Amino acid sequence: MERAFQTALWLLQPGVVFILGDVFDEGKWSSSQAWADDVGRFWKIFRHPPHVQLRAVAGNHDIGFHYQMNTYKIKRFEKVFNPERLFSWKGINFCVPGTQSPADSTGGPWLISCPCLSFVMVNSVALEGDGCDICSGAEAELLEISHRLNCSREQEHRPQECGDGQQLPASAPILLQHFPLYRRNDANCSGEDAAPPDEKYTPFKERYDALSQEASRKLLWWLRPRLVLSGHTHSACEVLHGAGVLEVSVPSFSWRNRNNPSFIMGSITPTEYALAKCYLPCEDTVLTTYCMAAGGLVLLTLVHAGLVASPFHFGWNMLRKFKTT
């Protein structure tokens, strides 16, 4: 994983990297010391130059499912991955510095913007819809972001209630979250990194495998995104929601979860976007290569020690014997 990430940084030169949740495996259970150890290991693997922004949304393995989530776990996660409420982006070739809207400790969404683009990062674990304090705070922030986005779309005839605050880009935002929007299953997903056939038709459980229908409708209605990027399922899928909004479920980046991990490389403008999938080497290919290389080294060592005849010498003797006969 470390080699894959560092190679991708060097080769593709991205301006920003988004991780769609489940940064850690046992973050929801980790003690303070275990959490600190995991964070140190993460930054070793995903180290990056100062001009590259790395942002992460929370997943259920980071802060727990709704019944395990609490303010302490959310703050602990945000302290590592979102230390500033207001920050600028630099190094994006089509943007100048922008801002992130303030957020509180409810684990609600963040609105990241520059004069060209807006990205809304949502804590989808908090969209349970049961009225808990964290959930209510997250929905309140979503409504505030929705209001700001709607005002940005009315720049020529700006309503009085929009005020004179900083305007956001008029382009529709891109939604980033861990849980995918509601879908029945992965039956309509295709591709070599889609769910295996024996899992495709397994019904998704709302609020566990995907967001509820209600939460999904709210996100699409309030934010009106042009693209949704999600994770959680470990498999790839592309789904068209109402009004033609494309959702791309990004597969796992870890060999632990699948044999052919991948990531998405995107090029985004205020009106268009282009996505390409980049694959890591298959785990079995890497293991086979390592085994063959190890076997070759062992053979060379034995030949050098005189314990095994050189294959070339053996082949030459066989050729000479064939010629003489």
Contacts of 96 (CB under 8 A, 6+ apart): 114, 115
- In sequence order, what DSSP letters do the residues of 16-56 get, joined into one string? EEEE-S--SSSTTT--HHHHHHHHHHHHHHT---TTSEEEE
Question: Of 82-91, 126-135, 137-146, 155-164, which gets the smallest average pLDDT?
Answer: 82-91
pLDDT at 93: 32
* Distance separating alpha carbons of residues 305 and 290, to the nearest angstrom: 23
Measure the CA dihedral 136/118/222/236, to 10°.
Answer: -90
Average pLDDT over residues 66-70: 93
Do residues 186 and 199 make contact, with C-beta atoms less than 8 angstroms apart? yes
The residue type found at 24 is: F
Q: Please say if the pLDDT value at position 89 is more than 60.
A: no
For the four alpha carbons of 206, 230, 124 and 273, in that order, the dihedral sign comes to negative
The residue type found at 35 is: W
pLDDT at 101: 44
Mean pLDDT of the chain: 83
Average pLDDT over residues 265-289: 86
**Quick one: which of 15, 2, 298, 22 has its CA closest to 180?**
22
Per residue in 224-250, pLDDT tens?
Answer: 999 999 999 999 999 999 889 999 999
Q: Please say if the pLDDT value at position 166 is more than 90.
A: no
Percent share of the chain, pLDDT over 70: 79
- Counted residue by residue, the chain has a size of 325
